[in-house]
């Protein structure tokens, strides 16, 4: 069977789907979490269709997997009001609670979340088309992130459980929360990248409003009860609906203190502008990127091809960290293209639950058409698709396309494709990719492939001042989660890693007192009698 024939019949009939992976009952989600209760909404709903199409005698159609409520502006503002009340200007039970007690709530949530693994993994497959292996990885990585966050906070708290005396002043310095946090994750990691802002925000004492991404909403349904049971009223609240309806009014109210948003800068900028007191708003943003690979003439080609393949096509290229343009030295470009194209032919494609599958259907309805436009544009300026059936479309399925030779006149040169199109640029002088990086609006990461340590060192030194991570003979990626994840220019605001996130969602606060007998006695009384949760020498074990 040719690749084109395989793509033509890529979608299953219902009977082709193994029973354990079927989503027989659609998720008709009507509840949302507000002020510690699950309440029902009976207004307008958004129907959700899977990127997976089902073949029937009447043709093939995206499979309907459920629906969720479309909140009105007033309903959204009520959700925010619950978070504002729970924070209570820093006087609420949650922001004034001991770190130890907050940790126990988060651990309870993690235990309840783990019980929902199968349900969430299945919805990750059906809602965004993530492969079973990657969906399991996303879930498990998130659970591990929560455990690591708890450990990092214990460490942080232990070093804060002491006094510092300087210039006759006694001080205790700790980190305190910022207020009400609006957490919005992206559709490509709807669970992980929502939780990696939500959990640090919570554990530092902020109250939260969680807004799921455009795709990847239903997978939060199995977690609502866990949130409800694990956290005090108003600490976690959920918004459902169209982003453009439910989020601008929240920002406009001026009552959001932290915007944690992973997605595109257009939406982030629009939200930020709505806030009437911009200096009060803390931003934690993960935005676009166009990470390049630079493949030098002495690179280990087998390694470079395999890393560039994984880097550009894991989850169909829908990762902010994906390699989105490959600069390959012209001496090895022909060999690189031949090997990459052969590797693409071997790449498994199909439905998310099928073993060995890498390429799956795309959740964004308009994406295949957009990717095709990029290819057509590149053709106009002299590029070709260099792999069998590259760019072939069947409904929501798009066969990866290796486009070569790409140049600065093409849209693929500058637009973040966020999908399975791999632009390759041949170069003679290494100045070409360096210039590209310097002139780019983005500055997240780069991958360099080569063997000559002197040449690599000469690239590393300037490039670490242009991007936030230089990867040697390795694809770009966020993990391990203890590493700082950030970007320069339009790619990010703030740094996330297990320990950096705790800092991003808090501010240092200090209780200070002149070294007087009176103050010594007061501080002694407060700490000995455990009268304050902040001014305390308690040590978390």
Residue 485 forms beta bridges with which residues? Answer: 496
Q: Considering the complex, state which of residue 497 and residue 536 has its C-beta at the smaller distance from ligand G3H.
A: 497
Strand, helix or coil at 500?
Answer: helix
Give dist(CA 491, CA 465) in Å, integer: 14
Site pattern 302..341 for ligand G3H (x: CB under 6 A):
-----------------xxx--------------------
Answer whether 105's CB lies under 8 Å from 67's CB.
Answer: no
Considering the complex, state which of residue 79 and residue 135 has its C-beta at the smaller distance from ligand G3H.
135
Q: Work out how close the CB of 478 gets to ligand G3H at its nearest, in angstroms, rounded to a whole number.
A: 3
Q: Does 367 interact with ligand G3H (rule: CB under 6 A)?
A: no
Is residue 478 a contact point for ligand G3H (CB under 6 A)?
yes
Long-range contacts at 459-466 (CB < 8 A, ≥ 24 apart)? 459/294, 459/430, 459/434, 462/434, 463/434, 463/437, 466/437, 466/438
| Nearer to ligand G3H among residue 192 and residue 207 (C-beta) | 192
Q: Which residue lies nearer to ligand G3H by CB, 193 or 257? A: 193
Residue 36 in 3-state DSSP? coil
Q: Does 480 contact ligand G3H by CB under 6 A? A: no
DSSP annotation of 404 reads E
Residue pair 446/294 in contact by the 8 Å Cβ criterion? yes
Q: In the beta sheet, which residues pair with residue 166?
A: 169
| Distance in angstroms (rounded) separating the CA atoms of residues 445 and 471 | 7
The mark string for 435-474 relative to ligand G3H (x by CB under 6 A, - otherwise) is ----------------------------------------
Residue 373 tokens read as 């436009």
Contact letters (x/-) for ligand G3H, 268-307, by CB under 6 A? Answer: ----------------------------------------
Measure the CA–CA gap between 286 and 268, rounded to whole angstroms. 9
- The site string for ligand G3H over 146-185 (x = CB under 6 A, - otherwise) reads ----------------------------------------
Q: Which residue, 7 or 322, has its beta carbon nearer to ligand G3H?
A: 322
> Nearest approach, Cβ of 320 to ligand G3H (angstroms)?
3
Minimal CA–CA distance to 208: which of 243, 135, 260, 172? 260
Binding residue (CB under 6 A) for ligand G3H from 358, 477, 486, 491 = 477
Answer for which of 32, 94, 187, 189 binds ligand G3H (CB under 6 A) is 189
- Find the shortest distance in angstroms from Cβ 310 to ligand G3H: 10
Handedness of CA 37, 42, 44, 46 (dihedral sign): positive
Query: Least distance from C-beta 9 to ligand G3H, angstroms?
Result: 30
Three-class secondary structure of residue 171 per DSSP = strand
Q: Which is nearer to ligand G3H, 174 or 324 (CB)?
A: 324
Q: How far apart are CA 463 and CA 449, in angstroms?
A: 14
Minimum distance of ligand G3H from residue 219's CB (angstroms): 16
- C-alpha Rg value of the chain to the nearest Å: 25
- Min separation Cβ 286 and ligand G3H, Å: 6
Whether residue 535 contacts residue 172, with contact meaning beta carbons closer than 8 Å, is answered with: yes
Q: Which of residues 192-221 bind ligand G3H (CB under 6 A)?
A: 193
Q: Which is nearer to ligand G3H, 275 or 469 (CB)?
A: 469
Q: Note the residues at the interface with ligand G3H (CB under 6 A).
A: 188-189, 193, 319-321, 477-479
């Amino acid at each position: 069977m040719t690749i084109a024939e395989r793509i033509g019949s890529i979608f299953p009939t219902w009977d082709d789907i193994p029973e354990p992976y079927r989503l027989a009952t659609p998720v008709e989600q009507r509840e949302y979490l507000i002020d510690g209760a699950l309440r029902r909404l009976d207004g307008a709903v958004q129907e959700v269709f899977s990127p997976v199409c089902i073949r029937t005698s009447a043709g093939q159609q995206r499979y309907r997997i459920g629906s969720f409520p479309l909140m009105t502006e007033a309903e959204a503002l009520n959700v925010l009001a619950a978070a504002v009340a729970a924070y209570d200007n820093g006087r609420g039970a949650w922001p004034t609670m001991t770190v130890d007690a907050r940790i126990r709530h988060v651990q309870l949530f993690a235990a309840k979340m783990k019980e929902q693994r199968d349900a969430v993994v299945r919805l990750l497959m059906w809602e965004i088309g993530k492969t079973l292996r990657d969906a399991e990885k996303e879930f498990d990585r998130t659970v591990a992130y929560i455990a690591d966050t708890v450990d990092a906070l214990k460490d942080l708290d232990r070093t804060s459980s002491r006094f510092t005396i300087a210039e006759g002043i006694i001080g205790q310095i700790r980190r305190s929360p910022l207020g009400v946090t609006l957490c919005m994750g992206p559709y490509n990691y709807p669970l992980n990248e929502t939780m990696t802002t939500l959990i640090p925000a919570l554990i530092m004492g902020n109250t939260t409003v969680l807004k799921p991404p455009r795709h990847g909403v239903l997978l939060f349904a199995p977690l609502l009860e866990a949130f409800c049971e694990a956290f005090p009223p108003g600490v976690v609240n959920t918004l459902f609906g169209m982003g453009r309806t439910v989020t601008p009014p929240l920002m406009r109210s001026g009552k959001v203190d932290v915007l944690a948003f992973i997605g595109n800068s257009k939406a982030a900028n629009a939200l930020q502008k709505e806030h009437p007191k911009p200096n009060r708003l803390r931003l934690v943003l993960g935005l676009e990127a166009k990470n390049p690979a630079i493949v030098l003439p002495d690179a280990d080609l087998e390694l470079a091809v395999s890393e560039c393949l994984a880097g550009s096509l894991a989850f169909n290229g829908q990762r902010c960290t994906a390699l989105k343009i490959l600069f390959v030295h012209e001496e090895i470009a022909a060999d690189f293209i031949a090997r990459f194209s052969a590797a693409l032919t071997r790449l498994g494609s199909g439905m998310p639950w099928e073993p060995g599958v890498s390429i799956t259907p795309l959740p964004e309805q308009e994406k295949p058409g957009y990717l095709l436009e990029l290819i057509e544009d590149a053709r106009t300026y002299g590029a070709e698709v260099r792999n069998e059936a590259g760019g072939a479309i069947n409904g929501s399925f798009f066969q990866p396309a290796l486009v070569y030779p790409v140049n600065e006149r093409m849209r693929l040169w500058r637009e973040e494709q966020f999908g399975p199109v791999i632009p390759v640029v041949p170069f003679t002088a290494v100045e070409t990719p360096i210039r590209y990086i310097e002139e780019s609006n983005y500055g997240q990461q780069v991958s360099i492939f080569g063997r000559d340590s002197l040449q690599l060192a000469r690239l590393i030194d300037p490039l670490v001042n242009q991007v936030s991570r230089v990867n040697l003979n390795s694809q770009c990626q966020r993990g391990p989660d203890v590493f700082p994840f950030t970007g320069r220019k339009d790619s990010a605001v703030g740094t996330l890693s297990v320990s950096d996130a705790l800092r991003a969602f808090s501010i240092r606060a200090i209780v200070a007192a002149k070294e007087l007998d009176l103050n010594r006695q007061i501080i002694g009384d407060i700490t000995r009698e455990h009268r304050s949760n902040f001014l305390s020498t308690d040590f978390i074990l």
